[in-house]
A and B are shown apart, each in its own frame.
Chain A
Amino acid sequence: MAEKVLMKGNEAFAEAVIRGGVRFYFGYPITPQSEIPEFMSRELPKWGGRFLQAESELGAVNMAYGCGAAGGNAFISSSSPGIALMQEGMSFLCSAEVPLTILNASRGGPGIGSIQPGQADYFQVTRGGGNGDYRIPVFAPASIQEAIDILYYAPALADQWRNPVMVLVDGLMGQMMEPVVLPEPKEPLTSADIPKVKPWAISGSEKGARSVVKSLRLQPEVLEQHVEKLFEKYGRMERELQKVECTDIEDAEVVFVAFGTMARLATEAMELLQAQGIKAGLIRPVTLWPFPYSAFDALTDKTRVVISTELSMGQLIEDVRLGVRGRFPVKLIHRTGGMLPTSLEIVDKTKKILEEVR
């Protein structure tokens, strides 16, 4: 068993993807994740990897596309406005079925917004952002250890599905320190292995048939077939990747739904309410896409209200409503712009909501 070390979020995230087999990083500085390109520029060469500071987020995502198309395990990271620029590339990568691991440290928006933690990019990451019919699995860890575990596994997952995989955190998780256990480093893929392991990759090698990585399909019937094939894959992802953590929901009168940083605050609020004799529970989606809608089926008639707790004007709440399917009232407790509620604030607002619905 490896020993615990105290690590800052952003550095732990970077260390985890390297240990997960990533050897190529392309990045552009943006707060609150700039420690990641800094860490990668220092550490990646020690592992035999390559770091490249891109001229823009557009440059970074397209370098990563080239790297992934050539068979390399690439990683990019950015924050909300930078992710917006990268989404042109994400749509392209999905269509061309090129693997990539992405970290998004989201901040307050719209526009340049603020650099404080935000969750107002829920739609941005779960509903596309780039053009066309495509899907990207989005994981929302609530602790640095959980982020490490997901990021360690993300490069293999991206390879397995030949699709980008995103891990969504926020500035708070990037900046805080927690004791963590780092996993054993995986053997990385070498350039010489690529033609064998990834015969579809453009490796410039004599391997029988040449490879072409593309997303243009001018004939509509051909594009339709391609998108249907992608959606057959996305359907399997929906069944296999969904992840959720449910706490005390069976007899809960009030059920919070929250992810990431907000799930930590909601957990605290749940415990405070429980200490006051109010039965509270929590549904914490670990995957935002695929969203664990079926988790809501476990709620019983004892539930009076489901509360979406989020750092936005109410985006997660739309998936909560789809999960609840009209069985219970759905309410919102939120802050936005980079502001965080305290757990006491959540408790007070919850009590008021309970008075309304009782």
Chain B
Amino acid sequence: MKPVFQYTKGMTEVSTSYCPGCTHGVAHRLIMETLDEMGLLGKTIGVAPIGCSVVAHQFMNVDMCESAHGRAPAVASGIRRVHPDKVVYTYQGDGDLASIGMGEIMHAAARGEKFSTFFINNGIYGMTGGQMAPTTLIGQRSTTCVDGRTREQAGMPLKMCEMLAQLDGPAYIERVALCDPAHIRKAKQAVRRAFETQLAGKGFTFVEFLSTCPTNWGLTPPKAMEWLKENMIPYYPLGVYREVE
């Protein structure tokens, strides 16, 4: 009998520690399934961030290291110097990448570092319990803006794809959403394009996943998916922001 579905070898058989309805699991699987399909599992080195996904190395079945808060792009730049022929990626949340790690991501992108960054944007600090992130939307509530973020008090949310697309270093930048099967399928195509572009040696590649955090948003998993679609996609438009031929 021919199997119609098999669990990817890219994921370990450990149950993830993520909350019900969190899209970390979906993003993990898209990345690891793609590496598996491309035959790259034994040739890949990943870097986990600080945040809920600091433990990503328990689930992603490749050589991995943790990194200090925000420093994953610097760590990946160091790995890249030692192993120029391997596939290297970082996996980072919005606090890690767009707040404390802004310097590292911008410079790695400007240098055209040949690794891929997968950016999980759920507009909130998950692991520390729901504080305002640099990507928290205006009006969105968090434990450090309980009445909703205001422009006057906290300024405006950061749009990372748009900012990075201003640089000459990146080779491929796309924003995708993990809110329904159609969008998830598109997200997987973006992951594949990022790895293909990296393998072609064209430069830095970046995929932003609009993601959910039902626990800290105070929503059920289905409602969180709807909230993402209704609120995040209008502010963070989907699509390819940069592609170098």
- With most chain B CB atoms within 10 A of its CB, the pick from A66, A92, A96, A206 is A66
B210 within 8 A of A: no
A24 within 8 A of B: yes
Cα–Cα distance between A55 and B64 once the two chains are bound (Å): 24
**Which A-chain residue is minimally distant from B76 (CB atoms)?**
A66
Whether the Cβ atoms of B68 and A212 lie closer than 8 Å is: no
Tell me which of B55, B78, B103, B104 contacts A64 (CB under 8 A): B78
Cα–Cα distance between A140 and B29 once the two chains are bound (Å): 50
A62 within 8 A of B: yes
Whether the Cβ atoms of B103 and A66 lie closer than 8 Å is: no
Number of contacting residues on B, CB 8 A?
A: 36
Whether the Cβ atoms of A74 and B78 lie closer than 8 Å is: yes
Chain B residues whose C-beta falls within 8 Å of the C-beta of A50 in the assembled complex: 81
Chain A residues whose C-beta falls within 8 Å of the C-beta of B57 in the assembled complex: 212, 214
**Which A-chain residue is minimally distant from B74 (CB atoms)?**
A62
Whether the Cβ atoms of B65 and A59 lie closer than 8 Å is: no
B77 within 8 A of A: yes
Tell me which of A66, A206, A214, A216 contacts B79 (CB under 8 A): A66
**Binary contact track A151-185/B, C-beta < 8 Å → 1, others 0:** 00000000000000000000000000000000000
- With most chain B CB atoms within 10 A of its CB, the pick from A55, A62, A212 is A62
Whether the Cβ atoms of B87 and A204 lie closer than 8 Å is: yes
Chain B residues whose C-beta falls within 8 Å of the C-beta of A354 in the assembled complex: none
Chain A residues whose C-beta falls within 8 Å of the C-beta of B104 in the assembled complex: 55, 58-59, 62
Number of contacting residues on A, CB 8 A?
A: 40
**Binary contact track A96-133/B, C-beta < 8 Å → 1, others 0:** 10000000000000000000000000000000000000
Chain A residues whose C-beta falls within 8 Å of the C-beta of B63 in the assembled complex: 202-205, 210-212
A36 within 8 A of B: no
Cα–Cα distance between A56 and B77 once the two chains are bound (Å): 13
**Which parts of A55-72 form the interface with B (CB within 8 Å)?**
55-56, 58-60, 62-72
Whether the Cβ atoms of B66 and A70 lie closer than 8 Å is: no
**Which A-chain residue is minimally distant from B78 (CB atoms)?**
A66
Cα–Cα distance between A64 and B78 once the two chains are bound (Å): 6
**Which B-chain residue is minimally distant from A26 (CB atoms)?**
B78
Chain B residues whose C-beta falls within 8 Å of the C-beta of A59 in the assembled complex: 71, 74, 77, 103-104, 107
Among the stretches B41-49, B128-136, B175-183, B235-243, the one at the interface with A is B41-49
Cα–Cα distance between A215 and B54 once the two chains are bound (Å): 10
B61 within 8 A of A: yes
**Binary contact track A29-51/B, C-beta < 8 Å → 1, others 0:** 00000000000000000000010
Report B231 CB to chain A, min CB distance, Å: 32
Given A70-B83, A210-B61, A214-B65, is A62 in contact with B78 using a C-beta cutoff of 8 Å? yes
Given A66-B75, A204-B44, is A214 in contact with B82 using a C-beta cutoff of 8 Å? no
Tell me which of A56, A72, A205 contacts B103 (CB under 8 A): A56
Given A56-B103, A69-B65, A212-B65, is A204 in contact with B43 using a C-beta cutoff of 8 Å? yes
Whether the Cβ atoms of A58 and B74 lie closer than 8 Å is: yes
Given A55-B103, A62-B68, is A210 in contact with B62 using a C-beta cutoff of 8 Å? yes
**Binary contact track B99-120/A, C-beta < 8 Å → 1, others 0:** 0000110110000000000000
Chain A residues whose C-beta falls within 8 Å of the C-beta of B67 in the assembled complex: 62, 65-66
Given A52-B81, A63-B78, A214-B57, is A202 in contact with B103 using a C-beta cutoff of 8 Å? no
B192 within 8 A of A: no
Whether the Cβ atoms of A69 and B71 lie closer than 8 Å is: no
Chain A residues whose C-beta falls within 8 Å of the C-beta of B43 in the assembled complex: 204-205
Report A298 CB to chain B, min CB distance, Å: 43
Q: Which 3 A-B pairs have the closest CB atoms?
A: A66-B78, A66-B75, A67-B78
Show 7 residue pairs from A and B whose CB-CB distance is below 8 angstroms, ordered by the A residue: A50-B81, A54-B107, A62-B68, A65-B67, A88-B68, A191-B82, A204-B45
> A residues engaging B (CB < 8 A)?
24, 26, 50, 52, 54-56, 58-60, 62-72, 74, 88-89, 92, 96, 191, 194, 202-206, 210-216
Task: Supply 18 further A-B pairs (C-beta < 8 A) apart from A194-B82, A203-B86.
Answer: A24-B81, A24-B82, A55-B74, A58-B104, A62-B75, A66-B80, A69-B75, A69-B79, A74-B78, A191-B83, A202-B64, A203-B45, A203-B83, A204-B43, A204-B87, A210-B61, A212-B64, A213-B65
